[in-house]
Copies of this chain bind each other. A is one copy, B any other.
């Protein structure tokens, strides 16, 4: 259970070409929760520049890989509150996914920082590590999750299993989300919100998580419900 004497401090990691719904579904549920329980959040990036979901530009430079050739002007920008170097202390590490996870260079600052703050063993980790979608690939690259059960985006399942460090992780194909100790990992995009509601239930009970779900008019899938594993032929 959470420490009742202080706010639960969330640290959310951003990187170029993150998927906005990976972030704002879970943080939307947490924002509603923050009306009832003391919480704080820091939104982290390698610098204080606005972080773009745009597939055409990474750190101000046009890119060809996984670019959006159909629509050169489709983006939104989210502003970090801190850099990795001046991140405040936190209890919960939140790592979203997105096509940007495939760009090793652009995500290296996030991976380096997580590698540093995760320490040598699970005891050193923050209270919770939450990954959504291909955010699990960034966690894998830290090399800190060997032996853990985890899941990830179902369309990108085989790619995530191929990244550096991922071979040491026990990937669960059929699960909306997976819990193993401090590590909570969800399937793709929307699954992050289901997991977050499950995590809220774990923290504060079913009545609270149901209240958040109903406020969001969210159509929840439970932990074992995974129609997308079937869709992508992962069995």
List the interface of chain A (C-beta within 8 A of B): 7, 12, 19-21, 23-25, 27-28, 30-31, 34-41, 43, 50, 53, 55, 68, 70-79, 81, 153-155, 187-191, 193-194, 214-221, 227-228, 231
A19 to B39 CA separation, bound complex (whole angstroms): 17
Contacts A24-B20, A27-B20, A153-B217; is A39 near B71 (CB within 8 Å)? yes
Interface core residue of A37, A39, A194, A227 (most chain B CB under 10 Å): A39
A24 to B77 CA separation, bound complex (whole angstroms): 11
Q: How many copies does the complex hold?
A: 2
Interface SS of chain A: loop
Which residue in chain B gives the minimum CB-CB distance to A53?
B31
A23-B76, A189-B215 are known; give 10 further A-B pairs, CB within 8 A. Answer: A21-B21, A21-B216, A39-B71, A43-B76, A50-B79, A77-B79, A78-B78, A79-B79, A214-B228, A219-B227
A70 to B75 CA separation, bound complex (whole angstroms): 33
A27 to B24 CA separation, bound complex (whole angstroms): 11
CB of A13, distance to nearest CB on chain B (Å): 13
Interface core residue of A27, A43, A219 (most chain B CB under 10 Å): A219
CB contacts (< 8 Å) of A191 on chain B: these are 217
* In-complex Cβ contact of A74 among B25, B31, B50 (8 A): B31
Q: Determine whether the beta carbon of B190 is less than 8 Å from that of A34.
A: no
CB contacts (< 8 Å) of A41 on chain B: these are 73-76
Which residue in chain B gives the minimum CB-CB distance to A68?
B35
CB contacts (< 8 Å) of A31 on chain B: these are 20, 53, 74
* In-complex Cβ contact of A79 among B68, B72, B78, B194 (8 A): B78
